[in-house]
Amino acid sequence: MAKRVIIFSLGALGMALVGFVVLFAIQSYNNHNSPAQQLLRQAEELEQRIYADKDGGDTPQETLQLFIAALQKGDFDQAARYYVVPSQEKERGELAGYTKEEIKNVLDHVQAALNGKLKVESGRATFSYVAYIKGGYFETDGQKIPVPDGDVTRTIKLSENPNKIWKILYL
């Protein structure tokens, strides 16, 4: 009889132990795949990509000159690498979809900015210049908004990444 009690107790203890191991494995799996854990992994991957990113110039001017050279060659993949890492894929697609006239407009805009004013502070650079625009309409969300003739200030912003490389925030 005592032998049966011991066997039964050991069996129950073994089943409880297996249950705890299964519960621990399920909890560990759920924690590893939780939205918070996925977000942390994405943030870590982005940080690694930012630190690995070496495309750009030592100065804001150099980055824009490299960008111009890539666009002139039609190398949209390289041109997009001069943007900050989170924007590169989006910009690559947009640049590749531009017409020759739109590329010329981008090149003219960047060149005008290089010839304009530059303000650098706290790892941020802003190129600005004044341009005359012919009035017309600007369409957004299905609405046409009238735009009068006149001077506008155009800007390009860059930021310095952790590797001290200047990257385009927006044109």
**How is the chain split into domains, by residue range?**
2-49, 57-170
**Closest Cα partner for 130 from 104, 147, 112, 148?**
112
pLDDT score for 24: 55
For Cα atoms 108, 109, 110, give the angle at the middle one, nearest 5 degrees.
95
- Contact yes or no for 60/127 (Cβ under 8 A): yes
DSSP state of 57: B
CATH of domain 57-170: 3.10.450
- Return d(Cα 20, Cα 110) in angstroms, integer: 63
**If you ran DSSP here, which 8-state letter would residue 75 be given?**
-
Per-residue pLDDT at 135: 84
In degrees rounded to 5, what are phi and psi of residue 153?
Answer: -90, 125
Pairing of strands 166-170, 150-160: antiparallel
**Burial (Cβ within 10 Å: 0-12, 13-18, ≥19) of residue 126:** middle
Mean pLDDT of 72-101: 96
What are the φ and ψ backbone dihedral angles of 116, each rounded to 5 degrees? Answer: -90, -155
122: confidence class by pLDDT, cuts 50, 70, 90: very high
Is pTM beyond 0.75? Reply is no
